[in-house]
Structure 1
Amino acid sequence: MRTDTARTARSKPGSTPAPSAASPGTGPGERRGLPLAALLALATAVFITSLTETLPAGLLPAMSGDLGVSESAMGQTVTIYAIGTALTAIPLTAFTAGWRRKRLLLTAMAGFAAANTVTAVSTDYTLTMAARFVAGVAAGLAWALLAGYARRLVAPHLGGRAIAIAMAGIPVALSLGVPAGTFLGQTLGWRIAFWTMTALTVVLLAWITAAVPDHPGQRPEARTPMLCVLRIPGVAPVLTVTLGYVLAHTVLYTYIAAFLGHAGLGGSVDRVLLVFGAASLVSIWFVGAHIGRRLRALTLGGVLLVAVAAAVLAVAADSTPLVYGAVTLWGLGWGGAPTLLQTAVGEAGGESADAAQAMLVTLWNAAMAGGGVVGGVLLDALGAEAFPWSVLVLMLPVLALVLAARSHAFPATRRTAAAG
């Protein structure tokens, strides 16, 4: 799930004030259309960020055997990553607000290269956990930067589409990257999987250097204290929707194997996740094509699709076709959520979008960690059949909040779209 967008006015040609971090792209060539080379580089950064987080899940037995710990202890490599992101996203975003954006992106990606390299060579569990924490810190920097960076590369009316291209790295990582990494680890060893991540990151560093335009950081006088950002109209509702949306999704996604086992589909987890990933990609494409003028409608549609999917899974888990249909609806509702929520919080935050995005990243990771905890409690107390009901209970207030927040958070008429 995790930038610095804004709706600031462009300086006239020849004007002297330096552009702020929220300024859109400055080069004429950047603003005529979609700079695919740069946007795909950002999508690859998103892919690396997402895959680095989830890759250990498919390699736990081999990693735990080599490092001499239990699989449950090895599973905490995913938890420590999320903790690193949640704890550092806000303070690091504030500290680096004045950095040039390209320098910051390269620093974050170099952090991934270093962390994955240490993970690949480590024979000590403590060292591995430290490397995973560093990877989480790098993720906090990256998630607070990438969506806004994508928006800056294009004209305002193309901002949502640019974010959609960049965020396509998430479902690609989950639906293709994790299975491919797991296969590679099982075939050649788990260390090779992490070495491959390092090699891919090194290639990306060169790609970013060559293809991604630079942009200035935010001027000191333009920065808003983090807590004051919550008072900006629209920011708090988007953050609250993010918390509920991500928590609901994570409760079910984390324990999807347990739920499918309850539904008699325990041997079809890979196929179900493939369907979910494919539907998510369709969702990202559709959101990217229409977000320019329909952010509110798309957000409402996504929330409704996830709620309907949960209702179907709750009452028809014994029907294989309906389970696959519900998973398809779930993917269609979820795939575009990162693009929609990051666009919404960036536009609501305006010149304080850096801080708003950092808060979104923190809440996103807190919701992911909380989803694992809540799901575990539900599984022990009520069984796997409780998961879709819990998703439905969480999504109903999310739907109500999106419906109510029509002035600033999810407006019916968007100033950014109108500007285009």
Structure 2
Amino acid sequence: MSTSTSLTGPSADPAARAGRQKLPLSPLLALAMAAFLTLLTEALPAGVLPEMAHDLSVGEPAMGQALTVYAIATGLAAIPLAKATAAWRRKRLLLTAVAAFAVANTVTALSASYPLTLVFRLFAGIAAAAVWSELVGYARRLAPPRLQGRAIAITLAGIPLALSLGIPLGTLLGALIGWRPTFALVTLVALALLGWIQVSVPDAPGQSPEHQRPVLQALRLPGVAAILGVTAAYVLAHNILYTYIAAFLDAHAMGSARGSVLLVFGAASMVSVFITGALVDRRLRPLTIAGAVLFIAASGLLAVMASSLFAVYAAMVLWGLGWGGVATLLQTAVTDAGGDRGQALFVTTCNSAIAGGGAIGGVLLSALGPISFPWTALALLAPVLIIVFAARTHAFPTERPTAR
């Protein structure tokens, strides 16, 4: 699928006009809700893990594999799924993926079998690969070139919204009404989203066989490998810290502040989303540098001043500001450099780093303890900053190609 593919249908005509000044909010918000649904489905088990483990008669470490299976499935499925569905009409693919979420969450809500639950978590992870591979391409097609970054920011706002609101709310509902009804409510969200997409989001054709190109060939395009390297290190650093933040806070006698600490992080992430959305079309490079610097500063505070609750809250603000807009920045950059093939590689890289964060963080926790997390993040983020500074020609150019 080429990034220049035109949308079809009456709602596409305004987006194609060069003089268009406004973004089509309804379809972009529908895409944002798809991102929200994808991340909520992925992470909700973390908030109700003990209850799920008890009802399915397994230990909590085994139940935690419900998250691992999802992330691995998304990472492994992204490239082959992009190839297998390249000729599909884009709206059909998006609707199929959202319907798969409805099925997977329904089965999860009803299942009394741990193996069956894992199978449908894997099924949902594959559906997530389809959604993530489509969101940025759709957002770009719905916007004129000078506003594409802002359109991507709106679409990806569902990510921090799910982290800061959806997952805590899901955890609260799980405590109040049980984890099974909570997953059933997520199914209802998916069904409502199906109707919203059907009514609001215009269609787009897939690629004809003669125009399909191998996804891995995008690695040869200037800038793509650098962006994927930054993505892997950035996401890995974040997930090592975020996945085990409870253990880190407990180690410093701050376990009771976990909820407020994560709330501060989520609020700062939302601020970052709004700032990124307003500036990404003109300031992608400086925003990426600023995000890395803020995340490095946050990691430094956590490394040397974690005994101070004030320093921890300050680190959460810096971390949230450095993290909230990174999905928009990196996906905009990789799609500028590699088109939709670059986007498929991004999904694989990002989800592999998510899975790797949990695994590597577990090893670090056992071998070195929670104090190692911020130091590991610093070690990962230092080369990120070096790469972003150095890759000024293709990966993170001073002027975006579509903004010229």
- Give your verdict on TM over 0.5: yes
Would you say the 8 A contact 2:15–2:141 is kept in 1?
Answer: no
**1:411 alignment partner AA:** P
Question: What is aligned with 1:117?
Answer: 106
| Alignment deviations for residues 28-75 of structure 1 (CA, whole Å, 9 cap, x no partner) | 257521111111111110000000000001111111111111111111
Question: What is aligned with 1:368?
Answer: 354
Would you say the 8 A contact 1:118–1:131 is kept in 2?
Answer: yes
**1:28 alignment partner AA:** P
Question: What is aligned with 2:375?
Answer: 389
Question: What is aligned with 1:228?
Answer: 217
Question: What is aligned with 2:133?
Answer: 144
- TM alignment of 1:316-395, pairs within 5 A: 316-349=305-338, 353-395=339-381
Question: What is aligned with 1:16?
Answer: none
| Alignment deviations for residues 83-108 of structure 1 (CA, whole Å, 9 cap, x no partner) | 11111111001111121111111011
Would you say the 8 A contact 1:237–1:401 is kept in 2?
Answer: yes
- TM alignment of 1:16-415, pairs within 5 A: 19=5, 26-28=12-14, 32=20, 33-349=22-338, 353-415=339-401
**1:382 alignment partner AA:** L
| Alignment deviations for residues 253-289 of structure 1 (CA, whole Å, 9 cap, x no partner) | 0110111112221111111111011000000100000
| Alignment deviations for residues 301-353 of structure 1 (CA, whole Å, 9 cap, x no partner) | 1111101110111111111111101110000000000000100000001xxx2
**1:264 alignment partner AA:** A
* SS of residue matched to 2:112: coil
Structure 1, unpaired ranges of 5+: 9-18
Deviation at 1:382, TM superposition (A): 1.3
Deviation at 1:365, TM superposition (A): 0.8
1 CA distance for matches of 2:215 and 2:161? Answer: 32
2 CA distance for matches of 1:378 and 1:29? Answer: 49
**1:326 alignment partner AA:** A
2 CA distance for matches of 1:80 and 1:26? Answer: 37
**1:307 alignment partner AA:** I
Instruction: Give the alignment's Cα RMSD to 1 decimal.
Output: 1.5
* SS of residue matched to 1:383: coil
Would you say the 8 A contact 2:12–2:202 is kept in 1?
Answer: no
1 CA distance for matches of 2:32 and 2:274? Answer: 13
Deviation at 1:220, TM superposition (A): 2.8
**2:366 alignment partner AA:** D
| Alignment deviations for residues 200-250 of structure 1 (CA, whole Å, 9 cap, x no partner) | 100000000001111111233332212211101111111111000100111
* Number of equivalent positions: 399
2 CA distance for matches of 1:357 and 1:238? Answer: 11
Runs of 4+ in structure 1 off by over 3 angstroms are none
Question: What is aligned with 1:14?
Answer: none
* SS of residue matched to 2:220: coil
Deviation at 1:176, TM superposition (A): 1.0
Would you say the 8 A contact 1:237–1:409 is kept in 2?
Answer: yes
Structure 2, unpaired ranges of 5+: none
* SS of residue matched to 2:109: helix
2 CA distance for matches of 1:40 and 1:317? Answer: 38
**1:75 alignment partner AA:** G
Deviation at 1:178, TM superposition (A): 1.0
What percent identity do the matched residue pairs reach?
A: 58
2 CA distance for matches of 1:165 and 1:231? Answer: 30
2 CA distance for matches of 1:380 and 1:299? Answer: 33
TM-score calculated relative to the size of structure 2: 0.96
1 CA distance for matches of 2:6 and 2:193? Answer: 26
* SS of residue matched to 1:236: helix
* SS of residue matched to 1:230: helix
Would you say the 8 A contact 2:364–2:370 is kept in 1?
Answer: yes
Would you say the 8 A contact 2:294–2:319 is kept in 1?
Answer: yes
Cα 1:370–1:138 change in 2 (3 A) is same
2 CA distance for matches of 1:372 and 1:148? Answer: 29
Would you say the 8 A contact 1:93–1:141 is kept in 2?
Answer: yes
Cα 1:246–1:29 change in 2 (3 A) is closer
Cα 1:5–1:391 change in 2 (3 A) is farther
1 CA distance for matches of 2:348 and 2:400? Answer: 26
